[in-house]
């Protein structure tokens, strides 16, 4: 049967050009295929676009499903961190340069404060990499009394050793409190007898006075210039030796020479 495309009967005259719809020409034989919905359909040319579209959609959905099901690999992370690293590197160069331009220092003049906080965090007992506290005998400690400018200055109080090198004016050679450096002069910290009580012998001191040791330790712990570096192994006190007698100073204080004119005692 011919299938003529025509709107009017006038067009249907004998000999008029007969056209067939694609796939409906007599003699055209087509296989059937199963479409994505499981239906058996002819694979005639007219269906090919629909079938191809269905197939493409199916493939796309499958790809998406496979991607979603894939376990997350570390590759994207590695990519992102490798892209961050150069930026961090540039920042690490740029910030000090900026600081040098404005302040003439490389760290916005925050050196001591930053160093203090870095050191406090680094030496915190919770840090597994924190350097172990060193142990010093009294003889070893005596090397760090400020005499050698190449060595740090240490002092011990209650057996805890602090690095006080940041304040050579006070603890260095010729400093007002130089006599406290390179030793454990805990007794003098309490009694103020800076000549005769330069010892860790605390016998005879009251409970209240002994609390002063802890508050001095807190002073050194909290002070942003100082930090704890170790512990002192001090010789035991001979029980039979006489207790150091009180020094003959007013109010128990014997302030170092340059303090005698007066001045504000630091808050501990």
H-state helical runs in 70-153? 75-103, 111-122, 138-141
Output 161 or 170, the one with its CB closest to ligand HEM: 170
User: Is 263 a binder of ligand HEM (CB under 6 A)?
Assistant: yes
CA distance 141 to 133: 14
User: Is 192 a binder of ligand HEM (CB under 6 A)?
Assistant: yes
**Beta strands in the chain, from DSSP E residues, in sequence order:** 32-34, 40-42, 134-137, 154-157, 160-163, 227-233
Query: Per CB under 6 A, which of residues 133..172 are in contact with ligand HEM?
Result: 167, 170
Q: How far is the CB of 152 from ligand HEM (least distance, A)?
A: 14
User: Is 259 a binder of ligand HEM (CB under 6 A)?
Assistant: yes
Contact 93, 87 (CB under 8 A): no
Q: How far is the CB of 142 from ligand HEM (least distance, A)?
A: 18
Count of residues interacting with ligand HEM (CB under 6 A): 13
Q: Out of 136, 154, 162, 189, point to the residue binding ligand HEM (CB under 6 A).
A: 189
User: Is 174 a binder of ligand HEM (CB under 6 A)?
Assistant: no
User: Is 253 a binder of ligand HEM (CB under 6 A)?
Assistant: yes
Output 136 or 177, the one with its CB closest to ligand HEM: 177
Output 170 or 202, the one with its CB closest to ligand HEM: 170
CA distance 94 to 91: 5
Q: Out of 172, 177, 178, 217, point to the residue binding ligand HEM (CB under 6 A).
A: 177
Per DSSP, the three-state class of 161 is: strand
CA distance 267 to 216: 10
Distances, alpha carbon 119 to alpha carbons 61, 91, 108, 115, 219, in Å: 56, 23, 18, 6, 17
Per DSSP, the three-state class of 137 is: strand
Q: How far is the CB of 237 from ligand HEM (least distance, A)?
A: 20
- Interface residues with ligand HEM (CB under 6 A) are 167, 170, 177, 189, 192, 253, 255, 259, 262-266
């Amino acid at each position: 049967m011919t299938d003529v495309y025509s709107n009017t009967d006038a067009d249907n005259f004998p000999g008029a050009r007969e056209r067939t719809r694609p796939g409906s020409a007599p003699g055209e034989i087509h296989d059937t295929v199963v479409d994505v919905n499981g239906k058996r359909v002819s694979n005639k040319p007219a269906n090919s676009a629909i079938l191809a579209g269905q197939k493409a959609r199916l493939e796309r959905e499958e790809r998406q499903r496979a991607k979603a099901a894939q376990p997350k690999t570390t590759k994207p992370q590695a990519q992102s961190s490798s892209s961050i690293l150069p930026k961090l590197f540039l920042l690490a160069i740029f910030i000090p340069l900026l600081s040098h331009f404005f302040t003439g220092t490389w760290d916005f003049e925050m050196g001591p404060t930053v160093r203090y906080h870095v050191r406090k965090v680094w030496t915190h007992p919770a840090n597994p990499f924190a350097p172990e506290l060193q142990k010093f005998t009294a003889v070893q400690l005596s090397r760090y009394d400020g005499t050698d400018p190449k060595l740090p200055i240490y002092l011990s109080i209650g057996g805890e050793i602090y690095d006080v090198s940041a304040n050579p004016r006070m603890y260095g050679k010729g400093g007002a409190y130089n006599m406290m450096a390179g030793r454990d002069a805990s007794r003098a910290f309490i009694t103020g007898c800076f000549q005769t009580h330069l010892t860790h012998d605390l016998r005879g001191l009251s409970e209240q006075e002994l609390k002063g040791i802890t508050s001095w330790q807190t002073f050194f712990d909290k002070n942003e210039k100082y930090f704890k570096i170790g512990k002192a192994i001090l010789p035991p006190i001979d029980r039979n030796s006489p207790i150091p007698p009180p020094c003959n100073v007013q109010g128990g204080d014997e302030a170092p020479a340059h303090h005698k004119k007066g001045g504000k005692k630091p808050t501990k």
